[in-house]
A and B are shown apart, each in its own frame.
Chain A
Amino acid sequence: MELVCPAGSPSMLHAAIEAGADSVYCGLRDETNARNFPGLNFSPAELKAAVVWAHDRGAKVLVAINTFARAGEIDTWRASVDSAAAAGADAVIVADLGVLAYAHAEHPDLRLHLSVQAAAGAPEAIGFYAQAYGVKRVVLPRVLSAPEIAALVRETDVEVEAFVYGGLCVMAEGRCALSSYATGRSPNLSGVCSPPEAVSLEETNGLLTPRLGGFMIDQVAPGAAAGYPTLCKGRFEAEGTASHLFEDPTSLNAMTLLAELRTAGVRAVKIEGRQRGKAYVARVAAAFRAALDALDRGETTAPYEARLTGLAEGGRETAGAYRKTWR
């Protein structure tokens, strides 16, 4: 299985590949990708140099252009596709139908991957993207169980890529409008779940109070582990009880399921976290590289499963929907 790792900067791309990534995915420094944070991402010139650097080392570069093109602004998305093609990217990761159509028509040799933002989890939907735009790979939404993935792989000829580590989104991806209510911006259109300009963090006597768009979304006790200040990870009171109504602040870690995913026919496994940095990607890529190599040798992944302690959001890990223990 191909190990696909995140890169928010050229130095993070170097760290990922040196730690064992087969491919890295990255974005351009604008709203065309779903990690549009200040100071993050690549300029077209940086992307071009990164592709050369990666290819020299036998690695691939996949460019995420995975937000939805806004009416009246579609030239920005077209320009990103053109930049990726000019840089020699191995594939672009796209969700929007218009962007897919443009890339397919203008750059027929450019490989297309369907972003998780497209939320395509049914063989019929995936088949449509393949037939209409020549999509070669689908990144699955993070809401399918391992048996559901196995069944889906049997019903499609398109390569399947699955997230195995990092931030967990249990929404219908590409359709989440939670942060729009509080901030007017959304991951689908602006590339950010919680726009940083709308986030405030206040700590008084160890009590951490995150706010989004002025709304208090949690209170974290002194010393307790914190999560990202997103609405979906917030704690809200309902029927007299405060709880994480949407999802717990926790990170996905599906290393224990690698063997099952490989048997199911999953072609690539993906690490989330372009916003994290060199230290994160080096550690996660190295652990998953070791686990995948162990599987290739017919060994278990057990020795590597505790290597990522301390990186998880909220200090906790989960196998997420892959095991669906809550059903």
Chain B
Amino acid sequence: MRTQHWSRAAPRGDPAGVLMALRPPVEWLLSSALRRVAQRRPEVFERLGAFGDAAFLIAPDGSPVAFRLAPEGAAAGVQVRRRDDRSPCAARIEGPLGALLGLFDGSQDADAAFFSRAIRVSGDIEAVMALHNTLEAADLTLADLLGLSAPAGDVANAALRFVRQTAAAKAAWA
């Protein structure tokens, strides 16, 4: 059974190992959502231009795993990788999960995140800009990311807004 396989691949005391063992459903969920967006709105990824086949490693701070995003092309999808994964990719983007999600749906200003050093980028900066501008223009939401439709999608988007507002309020009072 697959569940036995996952638990076999999760050595104790190794959070990355545990998360790597759980990666098939996460990869399936995120990749399906990405492909659905590409099918429903093919114009979204036209903005990537020459970077249609590029892959990006998205690494949330504090997470032992990262996400390898290939927005378009034959290998389109999302893969879960160990944080220290060094397999070839166009660029690496690191930062707090909330900020990364904010960049995904355009609710966070990417330049301000760069100025404040909240977001760190390395690799092909042109590819990063193409991805950022593509996402900015796409008007995607957390529901799109999770492949949810209403009402579950509305709940997910509202939850993300709540998390962000709470974090902002905490920062304001800190």
Give the B-binding residues of A (Cβ under 8 A).
Answer: 8-12, 37-40, 195-197, 199-203, 208, 220, 223-228, 273, 275-280, 283, 310-315
State in angstroms the CA–CA spacing of A275 and B133 once bound together: 8
Identify 7 residue pairs between A and B in the complex whose beta-carbon atoms are under 8 Å apart, listed by A's number.
A11-B139, A37-B133, A38-B49, A38-B127, A203-B120, A311-B109, A311-B112
Q: B39 contacts the other chain (Cβ, under 8 Å)?
A: no
State in angstroms the CA–CA spacing of A195 and B47 once bound together: 17
Closest to A316 in B: B115
| A196, B106: Cβ atoms closer than 8 Å | no
Q: B60 contacts the other chain (Cβ, under 8 Å)?
A: no
| B122, A196: Cβ atoms closer than 8 Å | no
From known contacts A11-B139, A38-B126, A278-B106, infer whether A225 and B115 are also in contact, taking CB-CB under 8 Å.
yes
State in angstroms the CA–CA spacing of A164 and B137 once bound together: 25
| A225, B122: Cβ atoms closer than 8 Å | no
Smallest distance from the beta carbon of B79 to chain A beta carbons, Å? 23
The binding surface of chain B is classed by DSSP as helix
Q: B134 contacts the other chain (Cβ, under 8 Å)?
A: yes
From known contacts A227-B115, A276-B109, A276-B111, infer whether A196 and B102 are also in contact, taking CB-CB under 8 Å.
no
| B122, A9: Cβ atoms closer than 8 Å | no
From known contacts A10-B137, A201-B125, A313-B115, infer whether A39 and B130 are also in contact, taking CB-CB under 8 Å.
yes
Closest to A45 in B: B43
Smallest distance from the beta carbon of B155 to chain A beta carbons, Å? 22
| B51, A11: Cβ atoms closer than 8 Å | no
Smallest distance from the beta carbon of B112 to chain A beta carbons, Å? 5
Among B50, B121, B136, contact of A277 (Cβ-Cβ < 8 Å): B136
Q: B116 contacts the other chain (Cβ, under 8 Å)?
A: yes
State in angstroms the CA–CA spacing of A208 and B115 once bound together: 11
| A315, B49: Cβ atoms closer than 8 Å | no
Which residues of A lie under 8 Å from residue B126 when comparing CB positions? 38, 195-197, 199
Closest 8 CB pairs of A and B: A39-B133, A9-B137, A38-B130, A196-B126, A39-B47, A39-B130, A280-B109, A199-B125
Which residues of A lie under 8 Å from residue B47 when comparing CB positions? 38-40
Within 8 A of A (CB), among B67-110: 102, 106-110
| B117, A208: Cβ atoms closer than 8 Å | yes
Q: B23 contacts the other chain (Cβ, under 8 Å)?
A: no
State in angstroms the CA–CA spacing of A106 and B24 once bound together: 60
State in angstroms the CA–CA spacing of A283 and B106 once bound together: 12
Smallest distance from the beta carbon of B118 to chain A beta carbons, Å? 10
| A310, B49: Cβ atoms closer than 8 Å | no
| A280, B111: Cβ atoms closer than 8 Å | yes
State in angstroms the CA–CA spacing of A199 and B107 once bound together: 25
**Which among B122, B128, B132, B133 has the highest number of chain A CB atoms within 10 Å?**
B133
From known contacts A9-B133, A10-B137, A39-B49, infer whether A310 and B116 are also in contact, taking CB-CB under 8 Å.
yes
From known contacts A39-B48, A200-B125, infer whether A226 and B115 are also in contact, taking CB-CB under 8 Å.
yes
Among A39, A196, A199, A315, contact of B137 (Cβ-Cβ < 8 Å): A39
A-B contact sample (11 more), CB < 8 A, given A38-B126, A225-B115, A312-B112 = A10-B137, A11-B139, A38-B51, A39-B132, A196-B128, A197-B125, A197-B126, A203-B122, A220-B117, A224-B117, A283-B109
